[in-house]
């Protein structure tokens, strides 16, 4: 269906405000080891396929703007998707069940496939020299984490995600006030619906952030009411020699009391053998995570704060301590390779990843990744224990995506 639309899109009909878009085709092949619950249900391997069409529209008049992004998404689900936080899980198609506005409609569905259309951006705004105001579906990103980002509670990316071009939008009021010093205040108010479909302040978010800007360093302060919790956060970034140091400290007032999480990282860039390179090393402390060295599905049962974050897609880790690193190597100006390693320091399991980004030609791009879980059964990446001899283990997974931009 999406491919049939490409000739018309390439013609670029004279639509006022049309700002282009893209079409993407992707597939993920996954193997399941012996003893895995998924192998019992699906066999030794599985192929998951999907496609996306995005059309962008934008109009400006003086300080006013209006924008809308249309999406058509389809996915053939060769396997049931795992919940967020269980290793390199498959990505679910977005929905608007809990968002303020229901801008998603189903086109077709069957037992193993789903096609839908939706508006991922829809907002109006006004901006001047000092003020920015936007109302509607949009995206915002906060925090200094480069792989894990606990402060970014508004639809953050999975640390293992390869395609990070667009965050899923939320229905919000966003405001920014720029100070003469270059520092600024930002306010976000996200409205949502509860399980009964009612607009409810108990599931909304209101956040105020101050970003201090200096010549040598920057810092952030955040105060938020997120769902039913109070959040306090502070972060900073600074240069140290050839490296850039960043970090955040977040405290959440949960039903079990105050819980702290933290992330700190260092990033470098250099040239070796005529190739541009950059590296990241990051430590993440997940205060909501499980403290033991082996995990099972039953261990998550009483962890309400952890489960809520996993289910909302705010958190992608079930343990406490993580060390992660990545290295970007520019093989040619059009081809980049990025090996990465994500290590759970508590259970000593890991996920090794090799990602590829290749600009095939003008307007065409290929993304690829090989994910290799490492660790025994009863660990996060080795497979959470379900019962004796049965776990949620996944083997190597190969991801490929080709994108056409117009």
Q: What is the pLDDT of residues 59-111, one digit of tens each?
A: 999 999 999 999 999 998 665 544 433 333 344 689 999 999 999 999 998 88
pLDDT band per the 50, 70, 90 thresholds, residue 6: low
Q: What value does the mean pLDDT take over residues 183-203?
A: 94
Lowest mean per-residue pLDDT among 106-110, 174-178, 226-230, 261-265: 106-110
**pLDDT value at position 86?**
38
- pTM (predicted TM-score): 0.91
Residue 130 to residue 144: CA distance in whole angstroms: 24
3-state secondary structure of 8: helix
Residue whose entry in the numeric block shows the structure tokens 């909501």: 288
Higher per-residue confidence, 174 vs 2: 174
All domains of the chain in start order, with CATH: 2-9+37-87+96-405 (2.40.160)
Residues 6+ apart with CB under 8 A from 87: 351, 373, 380, 381, 383, 394
Please tell me the predicted confidence (pLDDT) of residue 8: 53
Name the residue with tokens 């080891």. Answer: 33
Q: What is the pLDDT of residue 320?
A: 96
Looking at the predicted structure, is the pLDDT value of residue 27 above 70? Answer: yes
Rounded distance between C-alpha atoms, residue 355 and residue 368, angstroms: 6
Per-residue model confidence (pLDDT) at position 89: 38
Per-residue pLDDT tens digits for 208-245: 999 998 778 999 999 999 999 999 999 999 999 899 99
- Higher-pLDDT residue of 285 and 11 is 285
Contact 340, 353 (CB under 8 A): yes
Is the model's pLDDT at 53 over the cut of 50? yes
Q: What are the angstrom distances between the C-alpha of 176 and each of 51, 130, 179, 185, 206?
A: 35, 8, 10, 6, 14
Residue 138 has pLDDT above 70, yes or no: yes
The residue assigned the tokens 């953050």 is: 156
Whole-angstrom distance between the N-terminal and C-terminal Cα of the chain?
A: 17
- Encode pLDDT of 268-306 as tens digits: 999 999 999 999 999 999 999 998 877 888 888 889 899
What is the distance between the alpha carbons of residues 42 and 37, in angstroms, rounded to a whole number? 9
Residue 327 has pLDDT above 70, yes or no: yes
3-state secondary structure 208-252: EEEEEECCCEEEEEEEEEECCEEEEEEEEEEEECCEEEEEEEEEE
**What is the pLDDT at residue 88?**
36
DSSP run (H or E) holding 196: none
């Amino acid at each position: 269906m999406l491919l049939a639309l490409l000739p018309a899109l390439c013609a670029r009909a004279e639509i006022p405000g049309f700002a282009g878009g893209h079409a993407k085709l992707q597939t993920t092949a996954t193997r399941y080891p012996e003893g895995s619950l998924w192998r019992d249900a699906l066999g030794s391997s599985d192929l998951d396929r999907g496609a996306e069409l995005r059309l962008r529209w934008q109009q400006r008049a003086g300080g006013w703007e209006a924008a809308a992004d249309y999406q058509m998404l389809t996915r053939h689900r060769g396997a049931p998707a795992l919940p967020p936080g269980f290793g390199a899980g498959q990505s679910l198609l977005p929905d608007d069940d809990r968002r303020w506005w229901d801008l998603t409609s189903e086109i077709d569905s069957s037992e193993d496939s789903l096609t839908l259309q939706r508006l991922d951006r829809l907002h109006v705004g006004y901006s001047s020299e000092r003020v920015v105001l936007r109302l509607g579906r949009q995206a915002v990103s906060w925090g200094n984490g480069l792989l894990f980002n606990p402060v970014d509670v508004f639809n953050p990316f999975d640390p293992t995600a390869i395609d990070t071009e667009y965050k899923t939008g939320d229905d919000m009021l966003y405001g920014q006030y720029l100070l003469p010093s270059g520092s600024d205040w930002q306010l976000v108010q996200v409205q949502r619906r509860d399980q009964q479909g009612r607009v409810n302040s108990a599931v909304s978010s209101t956040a105020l952030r101050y970003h201090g800007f200096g010549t040598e360093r920057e810092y952030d302060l955040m105060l938020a009411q997120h769902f039913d919790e109070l959040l306090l956060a502070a972060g900073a970034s600074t240069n140290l020699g050839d490296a850039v140091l960043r970090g955040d400290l977040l405290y959440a007032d949960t039903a079990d009391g105050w819980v702290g999480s933290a992330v700190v990282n260092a990033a470098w860039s250099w040239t070796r053998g005529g190739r541009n390179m950059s590296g990241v090393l990051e430590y993440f402390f997940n205060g909501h995570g499980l403290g033991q060295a082996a995990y099972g599905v039953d261990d998550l049962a009483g962890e309400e704060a952890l489960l809520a974050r996993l289910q909302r897609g705010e958190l992608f880790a079930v343990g406490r301590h993580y060390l992660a690193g990545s290295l970007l190597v520019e093989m040619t100006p059009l081809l980049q390779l990025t090996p990465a390693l994500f290590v759970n320091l508590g259970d000593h399991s890991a996920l090794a990843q090799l990602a590829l980004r290749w600009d095939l030609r003008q307007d065409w791009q290929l993304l690829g990744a090989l994910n290799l879980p490492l660790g025994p059964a009863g660990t996060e990446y080795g497979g959470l224990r379900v019962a004796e001899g049965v776990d949620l283990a996944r083997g190597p997974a190969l991801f490929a995506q080709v994108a056409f931009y117009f």
